Amino acid sequence: MIALGLRLSLRGGREAAARLVLIVAGVAAGVTVLLATLSLFNAFQATTARPCWECTAGTAPSGWALDTTAAGALWSYRLDYYAGQPIKRLDAAALGERAPVTPGLASMPGPGRYYVSPALARLLDSVPRERLADRFPGTRAGTIGQAALSGPDELAIVVGRPPQDVAAMAGARQVDTVETASAAALLDDNTDLFRFGFAVAAIGLFVPLLVLVNAATRLAAARREARFAAFRLAGATSRQVNVLAAVEAALGAFLGALLGAALVQLVRPAVALVRVTGPRFFPELVTPALWQYAAVLAGVPILSACTALWSLRRVRISPLGAARKAAGRPPRAWRVIPLPAGLALFAGPVFRGGDREPDALLAGAAVALIMIGLILAGPWLTMLAARLAARVTGGAATLLAAQRMAADPKTAFRSVSGLVLAVFLGTAIAGIVPAVVSGQQAVAGGALNGVLRAPLTHQPGTGGLAPQAAADLLARLRAHPGVAVLPIYGLPGDPPPPGPDGPPPPRTAAGCADLARFPMLGRCPAGAQAVTGYFERLVEADNPLTVDKLLPLAAPTGQAVSTGGLSLAAVLVGMDDQGTLEELRTLLARYGAGAPMTFAEVAQARATLYTQAENLALAMVALTLIAGGCSLVVAVGGGLMERRQPFTLLRLAGTPARTLAAVVLLESALPLVLAAAVAAGAGFGVAGPFIGALAMKGASLAVPGPVYFATVGGGLAASLLVILTAVPLLRRMTAPDHARFE
């Protein structure tokens, strides 16, 4: 029977060939999307699993004394920035012949030499020296290899310096071995966020792909069942008929999986351009694993065969024909209950109002309930819309389409059900992200938008530039026209612990004359020369993603102090001409400033993370719409093949071809538009309470960006165009000359 099934599928005539082509095309599109997503996940896993030389801790300065005869090396790792792009900088000095070497280098650079990543080498060659190259003493010795980088666009440099110079740097460490832990530590909590995002994408893609495979294997179900009844008449058993159905479905799925595995090789260069965690991945890492190819080539045909057998479970095939054992019951109104329940849960108990954080467990349960509600409510809403359309319109096409959808709404909704989760998640994220980004920009923008924040010690109040070096730096900064400088001095002594009744006392002070040039930070009391304040909060955070915590109530406390003899902990630099930004950043880097960034760049760093999450979500929506479009192709084509004879008889009875075309269009477009509208509404229903909880931080309701509308609107338009392409096929299939009366 297996050989017979293969022969019938491959040599069963024009109709069998058309059915096989549709199955192969649909499955190939789904497999290509799935393997492309797995390729990105593999590249992410390989990148985060590389040795994290940036995470090397070493021994703190208090635990060692400078000894050039000792083994190991002195390291000082920090982030630098150019035009908002982070530069990983390592200043190192070997203390012996057994000094550790970072991945990607054969040996560490000696004093006066440095190695750079290929991307940084191109940048150094393209910008003036005073803006970037002057930050790095010495000459270029070569480039850093791929083993030390997360992607081809990463900016990194390893600078060789004398041990005395490195020992004097903030954050210097004595290192005996290079850290071998996973580089996932660099992403901190964001690693789990990205993995969760891939998991959501996998779930979001699995549903439409499952729908696509199901639609492909159920293609022309009525004609297939009639053919199986003929086999029963010829003496075949029910078991043999099931074998024929499974072979037919598995063959098309296997050929489609093979074609998809080949197509993914063609789209790999485009997939490699996708940015997930910031920089692009190395192209050779963006590829499916061998076991993933094997799982797809084996799993998809098995899934298709099981789907074909499942579709026959309610069909009784006898030598006299095929008949349904029982008619499907119409969906009940209870199906719509989980959707509003999930929305009410998200808008109510999840966000209790005030400053309290949302309940993560309730939020997850609410979102899951909304997703389940969308799938359950789809058939009932389709039936309701069909009945309403039949009542309010009187056209023949609307009546025919509405009656068929009302009679079997589950089948009508099945071909578009895969779009629901993707549109819902994409809309929710596309509604939240612009609001959060605008809120971040509102906090960090305004008067401080172009102000450069430069910490001169990792712990303000416990160190910094000595008075003489500080005076030299301040004089050179003020020598630039249009530059305003606010020196932030560290108060002596250890930082006091927080008190039971409020925050600890301030650890920094600023001069009133300089503070007057930054009125947004507060004013000094009358007659004071300098005051203490929480100015350290403006520069103390090493993580630029916490911009909402960088702008505290940094107003002066009113306690007058003297800044004479205090070390310079940090500076805020305002400028009239943003063209001098990189020159000022280079100057600050010479004095050991840690990661000088403007507040706009701090906000942009966080906005970039949110935007990447939004782009991933919209990419998932786009891929799902592709799979959904393929499902529509298969469903429309199968529906035409299945109803070829009834449509032909309708044309013989005088029904115009355009009326039948309108029937096909309405049967596919109504569930599609309805599902997208309900899913988008649910997405905005989730985004609304979330944005409302962020209103105190400057977030406000924002319309999703053009990428969202282009993705969703373009996908829906493409799906409708796919349906329109079936009109010429309908005219040919239902021509009166092709009428047959069995």
Instruction: For 447-482, write each residue's pLDDT tens digit.
Output: 777 888 888 864 444 467 888 888 999 999 999 988
pTM above threshold 0.75: no
Q: What is the pLDDT of residue 219?
A: 56
- For the segment 298-327, the average pLDDT, to the nearest whole number, is 66
Half-sphere exposure of 530 (CA within 13 A, CB side): 17
**Strand blocks (E) in 469-626:** 483-490, 508-511, 530-533, 556-560, 568-575, 597-598
pLDDT band at 182 (very low <50, low <70, confident <90, very high): low
Residue 218: C-alpha distances to residues 1, 214, 223 (Å): 20, 6, 10
User: In terms of DSSP bridges, do strands 113-116 and 139-143 run parallel, antiparallel, or are they unpaired?
Assistant: parallel
Instruction: For 576-612, write each residue's pLDDT tens digit.
Output: 887 888 889 888 888 877 778 888 787 777 777 777 7
- 118 pLDDT higher than 90: yes
Cβ–Cβ < 8 Å for 570, 488? yes
- For the segment 542-550, the average pLDDT, to the nearest whole number, is 45
Residue 13 DSSP one-character state: -
User: In terms of DSSP bridges, do strands 155-160 and 315-318 run parallel, antiparallel, or are they unpaired?
Assistant: unpaired
- For the segment 643-652, the average pLDDT, to the nearest whole number, is 79
Residue 326 DSSP one-character state: S
pLDDT band at 294 (very low <50, low <70, confident <90, very high): very high
Cα distance between residue 557 and residue 544, in whole Å = 26
* Percent of the chain residues past pLDDT 70, beyond the cut: 71
Q: What is the pLDDT of residue 484?
A: 92
46's tokens: 């390989």
Nearest Cα neighbor of 637 from 739, 738, 728 is 728
Higher pLDDT, 92 or 687: 92
Bridge partners of residue 114, in order along the sequence: 140, 159
Q: What is the pLDDT of residue 60?
A: 61
